[in-house]
Chain A
Amino acid sequence: MFGKLSLSAIPLSEPIPLITSFVVILIALGVLILITVKGWWPYLWHDWITSVDHKRIGVMYCLLGVLMLIRGFADAIMMRTQQAIAIDAPGYLPPEHYNQIFTAHGTIMILFGAMPLVLGFMNFLVPLQLGVRDVAFPTFNSVGFWLTASGALLVNVSLFVGEFARTGWLPYPPLSETTYTPGVGVDYYLWAVQISGVGTLITGINIVTTVLKMRCRGMSYLRMPVFCWTALASCLLIVAVFPVLTATLAMLTLDRYLGFHYFTNTAGGNPMMFVNLVWAWGHPEVYILVLPAFGIFSEVFSTFSGKPLFGYRSMVAATLFICIVSLMVWLHHFFTMGAGAAVNTFFGISSSIIAVGTGVKIYNWIFTMYGGRVRFETPMLWSMGFLFTFTIGGLTGVLLAVPPADFMTHNSMFLVAHFHNVIIGGVVFAVFAGLEFWFPKAFGFRLHEGWGKAAFWCAFIGFWVTFAPLYVLGLLGMTRRLQHINIPEWAPWLYVSVAGVGILILGVIAQVVQLVVSIRDREKLRDVTGDPWDGRSLEWATPSPAPFFNFAVMPNVEGEEAYWGIKLRAVETQQLAEEPKYEPIEMPVHSPVGIFTAFFTSVFGFAMIWYIWWLAGVALVAAFAEFVVFAWRDVHEYEVPAEEVARVDRARRAAREALLDRLSRQGALP
């Protein structure tokens, strides 16, 4: 009846997961009760859960990502403390638990933390920057988000019911085969990642179609903001490589559930095939994450330097160059696995060449600042921190890409330091720069400056104190994923590293305080103009928060930096463009199909993990029924009346006129 599921799946004898589960469930219950008592359900349901508005979905993606970053950070704290304690001692985490933690940490950070954040930014920004009202397929967009959430849910359920994989974030066979890992841990991994991967693919298709087919009038390719270019490149990679992940995980699933021999080490299975396939996804995946991050930094650098981006075209070229070359370097993740000198040489060179594209970008950002009037506000601090941190991470990457050197450093703490260097310094810093930068566009008020700066400095210093010692440890010969350590000479470095985690914790606290303080002071921080940073691209042409239809009248773009052009004209003529004729707008209707799909896939995944076949069947049939019901609906769009559009837009114009007035009274205008 319940497959493999029984009461023994609840970790009653292990205090750490038990207490964590307890606390998480309490918090979740508390939130639910609060929502019910306050009567927020109708608002949540109509305006968020069933919303197909790309901005709302983007915000929900970011919220999911931030929550998962915190979960992953908790894992990280446990690992760093364990390694600092377990020097010639057992420490407090038994090996089988420690292995689950590092697996969950990697999986959650990349797939459920960084990915949702990056997807969230793309969702939120691309239509706004392209001057259109939504993405190409709004309802699918909601489905994509909810599938990602469904995967995240499954990963976190593994904490309370059963166990998670102990195989590392990429479950290499034969270890991940049933012969060596019979429990449900790998199955949790497989179904969670598979489901969220489908969600990611949907978003990828959506953004590619949006960028290629749905730009406002005048927005030719070479007038798009660089963020849109990087979103396009990233989503092209998603469309190209997430299917590889899907296929690879499907094969491993077949091996585990039906005794196939794709990756077994018996009967003609081929474990190396897994390693190749998974890295054919895995390496592009890191660029899926970091390219949009580059886009965010590009926007920030040019806005806060008060200059157009230096070398716009070379930036576009470098983005596409990286997009393509990133598909040709995957073997650098396993130089040591016997490919031979010729193959290693090819991949060593192709990997180093990627750094050329990145170098072009670094110089462009530096030259953007050069001669500009640089404003050191929080987003800019994150960006400058990135410039320094990421450059060093890239350089260590090039070191690793030299095969003979990699034979020494592969799977060592040096490698761990490298990828945290690029992922934290690149992606996470970008996320925080972006959150500060676009928060007013989403919520209508800015975040508190002082706490933001405090958070940055804690993160920046904390990052280096935590990870610089890992480079040293790697060179001293410490390998990754050690549950205990029996070389006392490593101890000092491990202590420094754990101190760094302490500083990072301060950073997280500062970030939370910043949010709380900003919400408290929101009236003081309110962004009345819609253009709080003196922005350059079209999202700043809308009021803050942006109305659900984004633009009352679709813009007609006449050059690069669309909004900057509009602004200059307004300043020169000291008046806004003439009031347009408002027309009714068609908007897609809200739909619960996303949350229902996620519900069914969650049930399906859970049933498959625990071998509850009848439940899996029921969930599949229900999902098909839901799909048919959805396909049967007749109303896809509703009309926003012209008066409503006019009302919203006149308010925006009034705010802009007030701004112009103020500027001219200050004598700031020519």
Chain B
Amino acid sequence: MTDLELPASVGAIRRIREDPHRLGHRAHGPREPIVGAGHGETGPAHKRIIVGYGFWIFLLSDIIIFACFFAAFAVQRGSTAGGPSIGEIVDTRRVAWQTAALLLSSYTCSLSFAATNLRDVLRTQIFLLLTGLLGLAFVVMEALEFLELANQGFTPQRSGMLTAFFGLVGCHGLHVTVGGLWLATMMAQVQVKGFRREIIHRLMCFNLFWHALDIVWIGIFTIVYLMATVA
């Protein structure tokens, strides 16, 4: 049986097993450091590890940006200035759909990377396209939400609470939009250039980015929307 006949996820797991750097396998026990992982005295890490590591650090800093917007929301949540409270503006049904779309897009994104690991252009593209469409659906729903609120006069200019709400949610929406642009560029690159080394690195970074946005959304979903319904 060749790799291609395996379900993508199984193949991906196999590849991870074969990962020469055994990332994350070194934490326990007195095993020797692995050449190319960038640990200890073994010299510089491989390019793939360096790229992934740098991108992780970027993601952490990006998450700190979100943390500031979260903090602002926490501070200004009650500053309604006579306008609506957070409980009055959230539409839980739409948010449920949004969340479903985004979580599903994370799943398809993983599948695309599994296909990438199998060097399967077609499936990579299909799953990337699905990811992009789900992301688009998410952004469109968010835009609708913003429009509806604006039509009722609930704009960021209305109160501190609305400012913080639009700022936080909008910041995430902007990230998803930029992610979509990146995704489209990557699809074009995969099509034209195939799986060159740097293309795979970029796909890996894109995956990390997309999942990070998902995680941030879970925070927004909980702290902005769910907690609004309780209050």
Which positions in A face B, CB cutoff 8 Å?
132, 136-137, 201, 204-206, 208-209, 212-220, 239-244, 246-248, 251, 254, 258-262, 266-270, 273, 277, 554, 557, 624, 628, 631-632, 634, 636
- Cβ contact within 8 Å between A132 and B157: no
Bound together, the chains give a CA A270 to CA B77 distance in angstroms of 11
Q: Judge whether B61 is part of the interface by a CB distance below 8 angstroms.
A: yes
Q: Judge whether B163 is part of the interface by a CB distance below 8 angstroms.
A: yes
Restricting to B163-206, which residues have a CB under 8 Å from any CB of A? 163-164, 166-167, 181, 185, 189, 193, 198, 202
Q: Judge whether B90 is part of the interface by a CB distance below 8 angstroms.
A: no
Chain A nearest CB from B218 CB (Å) reads 20
Interface residues as binary, B46-69 with A (CB distance below 8 Å gives 1, 0 otherwise): 000110011001101110110011
- Cβ contact within 8 Å between B61 and A242: yes
Closest 6 CB pairs between A and B? A268-B160, A268-B79, A247-B68, A213-B38, A217-B43, A243-B64
Chain A nearest CB from B113 CB (Å) reads 18
State which of A212, A247, A628, A636 has its C-beta within 8 Å of the C-beta of B69. A247
Chain A nearest CB from B197 CB (Å) reads 9
Known: A205-B54, A213-B53. Is A261-B43 also a contact (CB below 8 A)? no
Q: Supply 19 A–B pairs (Cβ within 8 Å), ascending by A.
A: A209-B54, A213-B53, A214-B45, A218-B43, A219-B41, A220-B41, A239-B57, A241-B64, A247-B64, A259-B156, A261-B160, A261-B162, A267-B158, A267-B159, A267-B160, A270-B75, A273-B72, A631-B202, A634-B193
Additional A-B contact list (5), CB under 8 Å, known A205-B61, A262-B76, A266-B81: A246-B65, A268-B81, A268-B160, A269-B160, A269-B163
User: In the assembled complex, which residues on chain A have CB atoms less than 8 Å from the CB atom of B185?
Assistant: 628, 631
* Closest B residue to A140 using CB positions: B54
Bound together, the chains give a CA A239 to CA B53 distance in angstroms of 13
Restricting to B106-133, which residues have a CB under 8 Å from any CB of A? none
- Cβ contact within 8 Å between A215 and B44: yes
- Cβ contact within 8 Å between A205 and B57: yes
* Closest B residue to A244 using CB positions: B68
Bound together, the chains give a CA A412 to CA B16 distance in angstroms of 61
Chain B nearest CB from A208 CB (Å) reads 6
- Cβ contact within 8 Å between B156 and A258: yes
Main SS of the interface on chain B? helix
Known: A213-B38, A219-B41. Is A205-B80 also a contact (CB below 8 A)? no
User: In the assembled complex, which residues on chain A have CB atoms less than 8 Å from the CB atom of B156?
Assistant: 254, 258-261
Q: Judge whether B222 is part of the interface by a CB distance below 8 angstroms.
A: no
Bound together, the chains give a CA A261 to CA B163 distance in angstroms of 6
Q: Judge whether B229 is part of the interface by a CB distance below 8 angstroms.
A: no
- Cβ contact within 8 Å between A260 and B61: no
- Cβ contact within 8 Å between B65 and A268: no
Q: Judge whether B42 is part of the interface by a CB distance below 8 angstroms.
A: yes
Q: How large is the interface on B (under 10, 10 to 19, 20 to 34, 35 or more residues)?
A: 35 or more
Give the number of A-B contacts (CB < 8 Å). Answer: 133
State which of B49, B75, B80 has its C-beta within 8 Å of the C-beta of A213. B49
User: In the assembled complex, which residues on chain B have CB atoms less than 8 Å from the CB atom of A219?
Assistant: 41
Chain B nearest CB from A280 CB (Å) reads 9
Bound together, the chains give a CA A213 to CA B76 distance in angstroms of 41
State which of B54, B160, B198 has its C-beta within 8 Å of the C-beta of A262. B160
Bound together, the chains give a CA A137 to CA B156 distance in angstroms of 39
- Cβ contact within 8 Å between B76 and A632: no
- Cβ contact within 8 Å between A259 and B181: no
* Closest A residue to B78 using CB positions: A268
State which of B53, B71, B81, B163 has its C-beta within 8 Å of the C-beta of A212. B53
User: In the assembled complex, which residues on chain A have CB atoms less than 8 Å from the CB atom of B166?
Assistant: 260
User: In the assembled complex, which residues on chain B have CB atoms less than 8 Å from the CB atom of A136?
Assistant: 50, 53-54
Chain B nearest CB from A427 CB (Å) reads 23
- Cβ contact within 8 Å between A636 and B38: no
Q: Judge whether B40 is part of the interface by a CB distance below 8 angstroms.
A: yes
Bound together, the chains give a CA A631 to CA B198 distance in angstroms of 9
User: In the assembled complex, which residues on chain B have CB atoms less than 8 Å from the CB atom of A239?
Assistant: 57, 60-61
State which of A201, A218, A624 has its C-beta within 8 Å of the C-beta of B61. A201
- Cβ contact within 8 Å between A260 and B167: yes
User: In the assembled complex, which residues on chain B have CB atoms less than 8 Å from the CB atom of A206?
Assistant: 54
Bound together, the chains give a CA A117 to CA B122 distance in angstroms of 49
Bound together, the chains give a CA A429 to CA B81 distance in angstroms of 51
State which of A213, A240, A259, A636 has its C-beta within 8 Å of the C-beta of B45. A213
* Closest A residue to B159 using CB positions: A268
Chain A nearest CB from B79 CB (Å) reads 3
State which of A216, A254, A632 has its C-beta within 8 Å of the C-beta of B167. A254
- Cβ contact within 8 Å between B68 and A137: no
User: In the assembled complex, which residues on chain B have CB atoms less than 8 Å from the CB atom of A636?
Assistant: 198
Bound together, the chains give a CA A552 to CA B94 distance in angstroms of 61
Chain A nearest CB from B224 CB (Å) reads 16
User: In the assembled complex, which residues on chain B have CB atoms less than 8 Å from the CB atom of A209?
Assistant: 50, 53-54, 57
- Cβ contact within 8 Å between A624 and B163: no
Bound together, the chains give a CA A273 to CA B79 distance in angstroms of 13
User: In the assembled complex, which residues on chain A have CB atoms less than 8 Å from the CB atom of B198?
Assistant: 636
User: In the assembled complex, which residues on chain B have CB atoms less than 8 Å from the CB atom of A262?
Assistant: 72, 76, 160, 163-164, 167
Q: Judge whether B161 is part of the interface by a CB distance below 8 angstroms.
A: yes
User: In the assembled complex, which residues on chain B have CB atoms less than 8 Å from the CB atom of A554?
Assistant: 43
Bound together, the chains give a CA A269 to CA B156 distance in angstroms of 11
User: In the assembled complex, which residues on chain A have CB atoms less than 8 Å from the CB atom of B61?
Assistant: 201, 204-205, 239-240, 242-243
- Cβ contact within 8 Å between B44 and A218: no
- Cβ contact within 8 Å between A251 and B57: no
Interface residues as binary, B87-117 with A (CB distance below 8 Å gives 1, 0 otherwise): 0000000000000000000000000000000
User: In the assembled complex, which residues on chain B have CB atoms less than 8 Å from the CB atom of A251?
Assistant: 68, 72, 167
- Cβ contact within 8 Å between B54 and A137: yes
Known: A209-B53, A213-B44, A268-B161. Is A247-B65 also a contact (CB below 8 A)? yes
User: In the assembled complex, which residues on chain A have CB atoms less than 8 Å from the CB atom of B60?
Assistant: 239
* Closest A residue to B155 using CB positions: A259
User: In the assembled complex, which residues on chain A have CB atoms less than 8 Å from the CB atom of B49?
Assistant: 213
Chain B nearest CB from A624 CB (Å) reads 7
- Cβ contact within 8 Å between B64 and A270: no
- Cβ contact within 8 Å between A212 and B72: no
- Cβ contact within 8 Å between B45 and A205: no
Chain A nearest CB from B179 CB (Å) reads 14
State which of A208, A220, A634 has its C-beta within 8 Å of the C-beta of B57. A208
- Cβ contact within 8 Å between A220 and B40: yes
Bound together, the chains give a CA A532 to CA B152 distance in angstroms of 73
Bound together, the chains give a CA A132 to CA B38 distance in angstroms of 13
Chain B nearest CB from A437 CB (Å) reads 26
Known: A201-B61, A270-B76, A273-B75. Is A261-B159 also a contact (CB below 8 A)? yes
* Closest A residue to B198 using CB positions: A636
Chain B nearest CB from A130 CB (Å) reads 9
